[in-house]
Structure 1
Amino acid sequence: MLARVKRKKFLQITSVLFLLLIVSGYMSLTYGEFSMKVSEVLQTLFLLDGTRDHSIVIFSFRLPRIIIGLFVGLGLGVAGAIIQALTRNDLADPGILGINAGAGLAIVVYMFIVSKLEVGTELLSTFTLPIFGWIGGMGAALFIYGFSWNNGKLDSSRLLLVGIALGSGLGAITLYISLKMDPQDFEAATMWMTGSIANANWNQIMSIVPWFVVILPFIFIRASHLDLFYLGEDTAKNVGLSTEWEKSIWLLASIGLISACVSVSGSIGFVGLLSPHIARRLIGLHHKMVTVVSGMIGMVLVTVSDFIAKSVFSPVELPVGVVVSIVGIPYFIYLLRRKANK
C-alpha cells in the first residue's frame, strides 16, 4: 500500500515538473529579441515554414540552447543527489566541493594551449573538452577525498572545508591562466567561467550525449544502493556492499556527468545543491525516485534561469550561472544556519 502511494506521488510530481519544462521550453522558443508566434514556432519545428529567419532563430540559437540547458540541469541535479548521498552531507554540491573548479581548470588549460599553439579544430575541441574536464574533476575529487579522511572515515565537515578551499584555489589559478589569453579568448573564457549556455550549438549537444547515454542507465538502475549510503556506511557493509568499490564507481559516474556539463556550460553552481534537497522534501529518501526528480528539478532550474537571464535584463544578457546563484546563495546560507542549530 505504501509503495503504491509513493508511486502515485512520484507520478504526480514528475508530471508537474514535465509540465513546467514544457512551459519553460515554450517561453524560451517564442520570446526574445525576435519574438515568434506559437504557430510559427510549430511550423518551423516541423519544417512546414520555409522562412529563413525563423529557421535560423529556432535551429541555430534557441533550440540548441534549450537542449543544452536540459542536459546540464539533468546532469548536475543527478550528480548532486549522488554526492550528497555518498557523503551524507546536505551541503555537498559539485560546485561547492570544488569538482566544478577542477573540471573548469582543466578545460581552461586546454583552451589556453589550443589558442596558443593553434592546433586541432573546433569540432575536435568540442568532443575532447569533456575528457579534459573529467580528468580535472577526478583530480580535484581525489584531492578532496584524500584530505577529508579522519580516523579511517570520511569527515563530512572536513570534506566541505577542503572542497571550498580547493575550489577557491583552483578558481584563482583558472583566472590567472585566462588573463594570459588573448582579449577575445579571455572574454569567452570569462563568460564560460561564470556559467553560460548562450553559445550552445549542435556539436556541443553531440559531444555530451554519449556521456549521458552511458552513465544515466547505470545510475538509475543501481540508485537503491544510494539509500544504504545515505543511512551510513555500516548499513551498506551489513548488507554485503563493498563500500569503497561502490564509492569509487559512483564517484566516477558523478564526475563524468559533471565534466560533460561543465565542458558546455562552464561552472553553474548550486543546481546540484538545490535539486536534491527539493527532491527529498517532495519524495522522501528513496533514491530511485530522488535521482529522477532531482534531475528534472535541475532541468527546470537551468531552463527557467536561462530564460530569465536572456529576457528580464534584455538587451543585456546575464550568464545563467549568475541567475542560479541569486537563488542558491540565500538557500546555502539557510542550510548552514539550520545545520549549525542542530
Structure 2
Amino acid sequence: MRNQSLPRYLTVVAICLAIIAVALYLSLTNGTFDMSVLEVVKTLLRIDQDEAHVMVVFEFRLPRIVLGALVGFALGAAGAVIQGITRNGLADPGILGINAGAGMAIVLFMLLFQGTMQQTGWLAVLTMPMFGLVGGLIAVALIYLFAMHGGRLDTQRLILVGIAIASGFSAITMYVSLKMNPNDFEMAVAWLAGSLHSANWKFVVTVLPWLILLLPILMFRAHILDLFQMAEDSVRSLGVSVEREKNVLLLCSIGLVSASVSVAGSISFVGLIAPHLARRLVGIQHLRIIPISGLIGTALVMIGDFIGKTVFAPAELAVGIVISVIGVPYYVYLLMRSNKRK
C-alpha cells in the first residue's frame, strides 16, 4: 500500500514545487519595479552589475521571498503536528492562541527595549524568538489548564478555550502597544497584521536554525503522531510515554510558530488550511503530511504576499490579511462539516 501511494506522494511534491516556482518567478519579476526573467537571472549570477537591479533583487525581493517560504513551511508543519496531537482538525496555532501568546511577548519585548536597541539589529532579531517561545508556552499552559477534563485534554473544549485565550492575549497586546512611542506603535501594528514588508537577511538567518533543529525532531517522531490517532490507553499499552511525547512535539511546534511570529508577525490559518489539504492529497501518514503541509504553507504565504503587494499597488496589504480572507470562510466550512458529522 505504501509503495502504491509513493507515486502519488511524489506527484504531489512535484506539483507543490511547481506552484512555489511560479510564485517565485512572479515575485522576482513583478512589482513597482518590473524586471524581465533575463535581467533577474543575470543579476542572480552577478553578470548584471546594475546597482538598481542588485538592490531590488538582493535587498528587497529575495529576502522577502525566502523569509515567506521559511515562515510558510514552519507554520504548515507546526499546524499538522498540533492537529495530530489534539486529534482536532480545527486546531491551528492562530486559533488556539499560540500566535497571540507569542505576539504578546514580542510586543512586550518591543516596549521594554524601545529606544535601547535597534529592533532590526542582530541582538533584537536573535532575542525576539525566545520571547515568542515564552509567550507561546504560556498560551499552551493556559490551554492545558482550562481544556483539561478528567486528567486529559478535552478536544471539544480546545477550540473555545483557544479562542478565549487568543482574545485575551490580543487585548493585552493592544494595551501594551498603546504604551509605545508613535514610531514603535506603527511598526508593532504593521507587524501584528502579519507582514513581510520589513523582511531582510537577518530575519532569514534568525528563523532558519529553528527549522533546521526542530523539523528533523518532528519528522523523527512522525510515527508517534500516527499512534495518537488511536485512544490514549491503546497508545500507552504500546509502551509510548504519551505525555512526554506530547510535550516534545508541542514544544517543537511552539518553537517553529514563535520563530515565525517573531520575524513575520501573526499569520493565521496557514496551520489550519495546509494540513487539511495535505491529508486529502497524501493520506493520514504524518511522515508525509508534515512535509506536504509545509510545502503548501510555503505556497500559501508566497502567493498571499505576492497578491498583497501587487493587486492593491501602490498600497500594500499584509500577507496575514490576505490569507485570513481565504482562511475565515474555509474555517467556517470545516466547522459546518464537523457539525454535520456529529
TM-score > 0.5 by shorter chain: yes
Structure-2 change in CA distance of 1:175 and 1:229 (3 Å): same
Indicate whether 1:78 and 2:77 are aligned.
yes
Corresponding residue number in structure 2 for 1:6: 5
Provide the C-alpha distance between the structure 2 equivalents of 1:203 and 1:119, rounded to a whole number of angstroms: 15
SS in 1 for 2:134: helix
C-alpha displacement of 1:120: 6.5
Contact 1:92 1:160 (C-alpha < 8 Å) held by counterparts: yes
Corresponding residue number in structure 2 for 1:281: 280
Corresponding residue number in structure 1 for 2:254: 255
User: 1:89-135 deviations in whole A, cap 9, x for unaligned?
Assistant: 1110000000000000000000011115x246722001101111001
C-alpha displacement of 1:230: 2.1
C-alpha displacement of 1:231: 2.7
Corresponding residue number in structure 2 for 1:207: 206
Aligned pair count?
Answer: 340
Corresponding residue number in structure 2 for 1:68: 67
User: 1:120-163 deviations in whole A, cap 9, x for unaligned?
Assistant: 67220011011110011011111111211111221112111111
Corresponding residue number in structure 1 for 2:244: 245
Corresponding residue number in structure 1 for 2:270: 271
Corresponding residue number in structure 1 for 2:128: 129
Q: Which amino acid aligns with 2:60?
A: F
Corresponding residue number in structure 1 for 2:24: 25
Deviates more, 1:215-224 or 1:102-111: 215-224
TM-score normalised by L of structure 2:
0.98
Provide the C-alpha distance between the structure 2 equivalents of 1:124 and 1:185, rounded to a whole number of angstroms: 17
The equivalences for 1:164-243 within 5 A come to: 164-243=163-242
Provide the C-alpha distance between the structure 1 equivalents of 2:278 and 2:230, rounded to a whole number of angstroms: 17
Provide the C-alpha distance between the structure 2 equivalents of 1:222 and 1:140, rounded to a whole number of angstroms: 23
Deviates more, 1:214-223 or 1:20-29: 214-223
TM-score normalised by L of structure 1:
0.98
Q: Which amino acid aligns with 1:269?
A: S
Contact 1:88 1:232 (C-alpha < 8 Å) held by counterparts: no
Provide the C-alpha distance between the structure 2 equivalents of 1:308 and 1:233, rounded to a whole number of angstroms: 43
Indicate whether 1:159 and 2:190 are aligned.
no
Provide the C-alpha distance between the structure 2 equivalents of 1:151 and 1:161, rounded to a whole number of angstroms: 18
Provide the C-alpha distance between the structure 2 equivalents of 1:73 and 1:262, rounded to a whole number of angstroms: 11
Corresponding residue number in structure 2 for 1:321: 320
Provide the C-alpha distance between the structure 1 equivalents of 2:148 and 2:11, rounded to a whole number of angstroms: 41
Provide the C-alpha distance between the structure 2 equivalents of 1:55 and 1:337, rounded to a whole number of angstroms: 49
Q: Which amino acid aligns with 2:220?
A: I
Instruction: Give the unaligned 5+ runs of structure 1.
Output: none
C-alpha displacement of 1:226: 0.6
Q: Which amino acid aligns with 1:261?
A: S
The equivalences for 1:27-46 within 5 A come to: 27-46=26-45
C-alpha displacement of 1:235: 3.1
Q: Which amino acid aligns with 2:336?
A: R
Contact 1:208 1:260 (C-alpha < 8 Å) held by counterparts: yes
Q: Which amino acid aligns with 2:27?
A: S
Q: Which amino acid aligns with 2:24?
A: G
Q: Sequence identity, in percent?
A: 49
Contact 2:101 2:139 (C-alpha < 8 Å) held by counterparts: yes
Contact 2:117 2:124 (C-alpha < 8 Å) held by counterparts: no
Alignment RMSD (CA, Å): 1.0
Provide the C-alpha distance between the structure 2 equivalents of 1:228 and 1:99, rounded to a whole number of angstroms: 24
Contact 1:229 1:235 (C-alpha < 8 Å) held by counterparts: no
Provide the C-alpha distance between the structure 2 equivalents of 1:93 and 1:296, rounded to a whole number of angstroms: 17
Contact 1:130 1:263 (C-alpha < 8 Å) held by counterparts: yes
Corresponding residue number in structure 1 for 2:138: 139
Instruction: Give the unaligned 5+ runs of structure 2.
Output: none
**4+ runs of 1 displaced by more than 4 Å?**
none
Q: Which amino acid aligns with 2:158?
A: L
Contact 1:76 1:261 (C-alpha < 8 Å) held by counterparts: yes
Provide the C-alpha distance between the structure 2 equivalents of 1:42 and 1:5, rounded to a whole number of angstroms: 39
The equivalences for 1:284-323 within 5 A come to: 284-323=283-322
Provide the C-alpha distance between the structure 1 equivalents of 2:294 and 2:246, rounded to a whole number of angstroms: 20
Contact 1:86 1:226 (C-alpha < 8 Å) held by counterparts: yes
Provide the C-alpha distance between the structure 2 equivalents of 1:43 and 1:243, rounded to a whole number of angstroms: 53
Provide the C-alpha distance between the structure 2 equivalents of 1:12 and 1:102, rounded to a whole number of angstroms: 37
SS in 2 for 1:115: coil
Contact 1:310 1:317 (C-alpha < 8 Å) held by counterparts: yes
Provide the C-alpha distance between the structure 2 equivalents of 1:216 and 1:163, rounded to a whole number of angstroms: 24
C-alpha displacement of 1:86: 0.4
SS in 2 for 1:200: coil
SS in 1 for 2:186: helix
Corresponding residue number in structure 2 for 1:59: 58
